[in-house]
Structure 1
Amino acid sequence: MIYLALSILISSSLFAIFKLFEVYKINTLQAIVVNYFVAFTIGYSLSNVKIGLTDIPQQPWFLGAIFLGFLFISIFNVMALTSQINGLSVASVSGKMSVVIPVIFGVFVYNESLGFIKVIGILLALIAVYLTSMKSDSFVKEKHLLIYPILLFLGSGVIDTSIKYIETTYVQDGGVPIFSASIFGIAFVIGLFFVTYRSFKTKFVFEWKNILGGIALGIPNYFSIVFLLKALKTDGLESSTLFTINNVSIVLLTTVFGLILFKEKLQVKNWIGIVIAITSIIIVAIA
């Protein structure tokens, strides 16, 4: 459980980093691309499985890493669009409610348990995510703009599901760091192409603070994935339980961070969501 706790804590800290990007006017796209390079460098350096860069394409998980790398950079951008067009609350709800996708996958593919108590806990978790995240800016006024939350919901769910499947099927013991590093490296290459393409359409402005922002984001981002992958290897902890606790806890902790660090105001429904979130975590953990 220690790896799950560390993943939740570090993933939640990413919220504060993104908020600081706004404060210091850091170019989010450039920082995200740098973040993936930093995460790749750390993972490759720390890996116990010493293989050359040219040998990575020969690994059994390489195609899966390409798929995840593409999803990582794509869903990051969809998340940004959802936040800008539909509101931060909609982005949070869409991303974290996607927990139903890996939960359903775990039940049908891995034959994981789904008793009455666990179902109640998962349903409470979804209600908690909704109530905790929804703020006054969350109303979607135009139906066609729902495409962004839907894509974020599906993409986030597919990422969690794919990480679990590829990790259990193709990644050997001790191979988590190099596997994680490869995902980030591929996301970096794709992001670099995207930034280059954007530079032809709009003037490219280089600032050192974007590099520093990417470094500050890349270090915790790498370890959040590594600890999640290690948590997935925990004996006796089903993925449906893990992803439910993980996603609800991140929403809960980021809400607390916003309250304490950025003096965000919570409505009554947000406080109710926090109570339900804690209840759902306890129920799912017991189940």
Structure 2
Amino acid sequence: MIYLVLSVLVSSLIFVIFKLFDVFKINTSQAIVVNYIIALSFGLFTSNVPLSITQIPQQPWFLGAFCLGFLFIAIFNVMGITAQKNGLSVASVAGKMSVVIPIVAGVFMYNESVGIIKFIGILMALVAVYLSSAKSDISPVKFKNLIYPLLLFIGSGTIDAGLKYTETTYVSEGAVPMFLATIFGCAFLLGCLFMIVQIIKGNFKFQWKNILGGIVLGIPNYYSMEFLLKALQTEGLESSTLFTINNVSIVILTTVFALVFFKEKLIKKIG
């Protein structure tokens, strides 16, 4: 249970860091690329499995790690944009109410239990994303205000389900740090390609504060994943239940942070 609590705390911190990027005008894309080399370093440092670079592609979890690496950098950018354009609480709700996807995956792929509480939770998650993305109850809901929260919702849920499947099917307990390091390494390489395209187009502007932002983001990013994977290995706790507790707790804690530290306001939508 301690790993679940730590996952909630560290994951909530990530949303706060993204909001601070906007406050301090840190380039989110550059910071995200740096964040992955930091997370990669932590994974390699904590790994007890001696593998050379040439051996990593031969591991049964490599393809899953590569796909997750692509999703990580894509959804991390979407998360940053959502936190800055729609607000911290909206980004948290859209990202973490995606628990719908791993819940459904758990029920159909692992024969996990389903009951009225989980069903109601799925409906509440979908409604929460819609309501949190609309700015007010008198303004019409525009698709452009929903696109980033919806992408974050789908992408985050796919990552959670993909992590559970790959970890359960291919990753041994001792291989978790190397598995995570590979995910972050693939995300870093893909991010570098994106940076190269920006440099070629002349849109790249280097600033040291982006490096610092990436370092600050990379440490909690790595541990949020490690704590979550260790929590998923808890005996007797279904993944659908764990994801529900984890994600809803992050939404509540992040919303408190948004209200207290960033003075965001809850807007009445109905009634």
- What is the TM-score normalised by the length of structure 1? 0.84
Distance 2:264 2:149 in 1: 23
Distance 1:159 1:141 in 2: 27
**Taking every aligned residue pair, what percent have the same amino acid on both sides?**
65
In structure 2, the residue matched to 1:250 is 250
Counterpart residue identity of residue 258, structure 2: G
User: Shift of the alpha carbon at 1:50?
Assistant: 1.8
Distance 1:120 1:266 in 2: 23
SS at match of 2:234: coil
In structure 2, the residue matched to 1:136 is 135
SS at match of 1:53: coil
Distance 1:117 1:205 in 2: 49
Instruction: Give 5+ residue unaligned stretches, structure 1.
Output: 271-287
In structure 1, the residue matched to 2:69 is 69
Contact 2:28 2:80 in 1 (8 A): no
Superposed counterparts of 1:1-287, under 5 Å: 1-82=1-82, 87-88=86-87, 91-124=91-124, 133=132, 136=135, 141-143=141-143, 146-267=146-267
Counterpart residue identity of residue 79, structure 1: M
User: Shift of the alpha carbon at 1:257?
Assistant: 1.2
Counterpart residue identity of residue 135, structure 2: S
Q: Which moved more, 1:148-157 or 1:118-127?
A: 118-127
User: Shift of the alpha carbon at 1:141?
Assistant: 4.5
Task: Flag the 1:134–1:204 CA change in 2: closer, same or farther, 3 A.
Answer: closer
Contact 1:232 1:242 in 2 (8 A): yes
Task: Flag the 1:123–1:147 CA change in 2: closer, same or farther, 3 A.
Answer: closer
Contact 2:26 2:209 in 1 (8 A): yes
Distance 1:112 1:222 in 2: 28
User: Shift of the alpha carbon at 1:261?
Assistant: 2.2
TM-superposition CA deviations, 1:227-271 (whole Å, max 9, x none): 00001100111111111111111111011112222233334679x
Distance 2:263 2:242 in 1: 30
Distance 1:18 1:198 in 2: 21
Task: Flag the 1:239–1:140 CA change in 2: closer, same or farther, 3 A.
Answer: farther
User: Shift of the alpha carbon at 1:32?
Assistant: 0.4
User: Shift of the alpha carbon at 1:93?
Assistant: 3.8
SS at match of 1:31: helix
User: Shift of the alpha carbon at 1:26?
Assistant: 1.2
User: Shift of the alpha carbon at 1:145?
Assistant: 6.7
Contact 2:34 2:214 in 1 (8 A): yes
Contact 1:39 1:218 in 2 (8 A): yes
TM-superposition CA deviations, 1:78-103 (whole Å, max 9, x none): 33455566x23654443223211110
Counterpart residue identity of residue 211, structure 2: I
Instruction: Give 5+ residue unaligned stretches, structure 2.
Output: none
Counterpart residue identity of residue 115, structure 1: G
Task: Flag the 1:43–1:137 CA change in 2: closer, same or farther, 3 A.
Answer: farther
Distance 2:246 2:133 in 1: 19
- What is the TM-score normalised by the length of structure 2? 0.89
Q: CA RMSD in A?
A: 2.5
